[in-house]
A and B are shown apart, each in its own frame.
Chain A
């Protein structure tokens, strides 16, 4: 029985991890190429989810909604990059942190203004509703399995994009030496806009996919943004590989910790105490993990020192 629960929760952790990867891949790319800390990345997650809910409400199609989340977040990304973010690349980290923090206030309140304070709902399409048997006794939600699959597909797609295409070569060159590639005739400001929009689109897509499990509301991007920060700190800032490993590690640790720590503590504690302490420590587990990794490797698992 416990082994079934364990595998189920492990899959939940991986599902959470793949969504975290979509967020942190964008964050780490934007930091790696442009040197920008983007706190407003969570806002694209929110914008994507709202676009999806809006389109799903009008057309009733989940697939169009997913497309809308990608496009909506990418368009918002392009606009915001051109209007505001572009002026921040040469500034120090403090200005970037504050300006993007201000951007969160602006975007969150803007969305609240337009859509109202009530959460919207996005429903899972019929074809993905229900469960599917995986091994002999284990049944698992189709939709969550779909999320895991999408996450892995996008991870592979990103890998191919970065290693095999011209755009990928430019992105890698941008990470290594910005001045050199602009001297070689690459339109660097267009490259920046493209990278920013790509990151925003990935965040928007993950917002829409998670929005179908949870609710679509203002501020939904903030908890996951901070987790994405933990992920890229663990993985090493600027490294996509690090973001992937970090995401899965954080997703699995967080999910398993919350579920199993109380049970584990019950072996040598009163049940009530074990539940309270277990759930509190469970919620802190990833931060403890991050502290441990930083003590041993201050620039993350795959970061350049």
Chain B
């Protein structure tokens, strides 16, 4: 455990030092890369709550990640073209203010994860996995066939949305904004996990029947966790659109769900910092292997299979002697 804590500090340190070096040596590429790791890690932190701590194997978190992304893209698109988004109850032309976009993205994703959760949580086991997958695919096909916002080609927003007093087009500024969100996401999950409510949802992962027998409405608990989890992923999606200044149906694709899941598993399930390690490892792998071969996903697949068959505890788990001896 001590090594793991030490490692966690190192990870945060690296997330700070790499962009700083990028700033000093004028290599904005590394700042953007770190920002990408941070955003993907936020999505992973969201999924980790449902998957790692509560045992809800959602294979459809791309639905929330992508919806967050599309909400941001659409609002900004309307603001850019000065086009009416809706006229009731007030006339609304979209917005390019992050401070307005975030709450809207959060609300939409919370509502969506509430609906999907309500329907999916009626089932369990394999059915749950496949249904969450199917709902995400439904949105994916919808995004492809809906022509207004680019359909298959995606939607460009050209300029990053704005934040009061700062220039978000500056990579370092945008990195800092994302870093703040990462800290908030970590803080929220830390508080949740250690609360009475957190005890309840972690107990559900171990034995749902027993939790029921002490009088806790497990369905309600699971639904709340699912909504929080989806909302965090949605927020990450919103930041992701701003990072790329582009959103396309690929954020809703099931490969995205799989990748978010990979961040959680590679880093180590039910570990607070796991998704950060997983996302960082994934991006490093993509960058290094991708430089040598076009088929880097072949090696990613191989590494993943070996990890699942033989290591099983994620990267952080390797440093956790206590767990390994169990």
Is B221 an interface residue, CB under 8 A from the partner? Answer: no
Pick the residue among B122, B147, B301 that contacts A276 (CB under 8 A).
B147
Q: How far is the CA of A287 from the CA of B120 in the complex (A)?
A: 12
User: Which A residues are CB-close (under 8 A) to B308?
Assistant: 91, 95, 98-99, 102
User: Which B residues are CB-close (under 8 A) to A229?
Assistant: 130, 133-134
Q: How far is the CA of A84 from the CA of B308 in the complex (A)?
A: 10
Is B110 an interface residue, CB under 8 A from the partner? Answer: no
Pick the residue among B134, B135, B301 that contacts A105 (CB under 8 A).
B301
Q: Chain B: which residue is nearest A91 at the CB level?
A: B308
A105 in contact with B304 given A287-B135, A294-B131 (CB within 8 Å):
yes
Q: How far is the CA of A300 from the CA of B127 in the complex (A)?
A: 9
- B127 touching A291, Cβ below 8 Å: no
Binds A, one of B35-43, B91-99, B229-237, B254-262: B254-262
- A294 touching B142, Cβ below 8 Å: no
Binds A, one of B9-17, B100-108, B169-177, B292-300: B292-300
Q: How far is the CA of A291 from the CA of B118 in the complex (A)?
A: 11
- B123 touching A299, Cβ below 8 Å: yes
- B300 touching A105, Cβ below 8 Å: yes
Is A167 an interface residue, CB under 8 A from the partner? Answer: no
A219-260 CB mask vs B (1 if < 8 Å, else 0) is 000100010011011000100000000000000000000000
Is B53 an interface residue, CB under 8 A from the partner? Answer: no
Is B214 an interface residue, CB under 8 A from the partner? Answer: no
The smallest C-beta distance from A24 to any residue of chain B, in angstroms, reads 12
Is B145 an interface residue, CB under 8 A from the partner? Answer: yes
User: Which A residues are CB-close (under 8 A) to B148?
Assistant: 276
B112-146 CB mask vs A (1 if < 8 Å, else 0) is 00000001001101110111011101100110111
User: Which B residues are CB-close (under 8 A) to A106?
Assistant: 298, 301-302, 305
User: Which B residues are CB-close (under 8 A) to A232?
Assistant: 130
Q: Chain A: which residue is nearest B312 at the CB level?
A: A95
Q: How far is the CA of A229 from the CA of B131 in the complex (A)?
A: 9
- A97 touching B57, Cβ below 8 Å: yes
A53-81 CB mask vs B (1 if < 8 Å, else 0) is 00000000000000000000000000000
Binds B, one of A108-116, A130-138, A203-211: A108-116
A interface secondary structure, majority:
helix
Is A31 an interface residue, CB under 8 A from the partner? Answer: yes
User: Which A residues are CB-close (under 8 A) to B280?
Assistant: none
Pick the residue among B125, B135, B141 that contacts A93 (CB under 8 A).
B125
- B122 touching A298, Cβ below 8 Å: yes
User: Which A residues are CB-close (under 8 A) to B295?
Assistant: 109-110, 112-113
The smallest C-beta distance from A26 to any residue of chain B, in angstroms, reads 15
Is A87 an interface residue, CB under 8 A from the partner? Answer: yes
- A280 touching B309, Cβ below 8 Å: no
- B298 touching A110, Cβ below 8 Å: yes
User: Which B residues are CB-close (under 8 A) to A294?
Assistant: 119, 122-123, 127, 131
- B125 touching A233, Cβ below 8 Å: no
Is A279 an interface residue, CB under 8 A from the partner? Answer: yes
User: Which B residues are CB-close (under 8 A) to A105?
Assistant: 297-298, 300-301, 304
Q: How far is the CA of A98 from the CA of B141 in the complex (A)?
A: 23
Q: Which of B238-282 contact A (CB under 8 A)?
A: 254, 258, 261-262, 265
Q: How far is the CA of A112 from the CA of B295 in the complex (A)?
A: 8
- A102 touching B131, Cβ below 8 Å: no
Q: How far is the CA of A183 from the CA of B254 in the complex (A)?
A: 40
Q: Chain B: which residue is nearest A113 at the CB level?
A: B295
Q: How far is the CA of A37 from the CA of B132 in the complex (A)?
A: 14
- B298 touching A109, Cβ below 8 Å: yes
A283-305 CB mask vs B (1 if < 8 Å, else 0) is 11001101100110011100000
The smallest C-beta distance from B149 to any residue of chain A, in angstroms, reads 11
The smallest C-beta distance from B255 to any residue of chain A, in angstroms, reads 9
Is A101 an interface residue, CB under 8 A from the partner? Answer: yes
Q: How far is the CA of A299 from the CA of B134 in the complex (A)?
A: 15
A233 in contact with B134 given A97-B59, A294-B119 (CB within 8 Å):
yes
The smallest C-beta distance from B125 to any residue of chain A, in angstroms, reads 7
User: Which A residues are CB-close (under 8 A) to B141?
Assistant: 283-284
26 examples of A-B residue contacts, CB within 8 angstroms: A87-B309, A91-B308, A95-B312, A97-B59, A97-B129, A98-B265, A99-B304, A99-B309, A101-B262, A102-B305, A106-B298, A109-B298, A110-B298, A113-B295, A113-B298, A226-B137, A226-B254, A237-B126, A237-B127, A276-B148, A279-B145, A283-B142, A284-B142, A287-B138, A294-B127, A300-B127
Given A101-B262, A226-B137, 17 further pairs, Cβ under 8 A: A95-B312, A97-B59, A102-B305, A103-B301, A105-B297, A105-B298, A106-B301, A112-B295, A229-B134, A233-B127, A280-B142, A280-B146, A287-B134, A287-B138, A295-B119, A298-B122, A299-B123
| Residues of chain B whose beta carbon lies under 8 Å from any beta carbon of chain A | 51, 57, 59, 119, 122-123, 125-127, 129-131, 133-135, 137-138, 141-142, 144-148, 254, 258, 261-262, 265, 295, 297-298, 300-302, 304-305, 308-309, 312
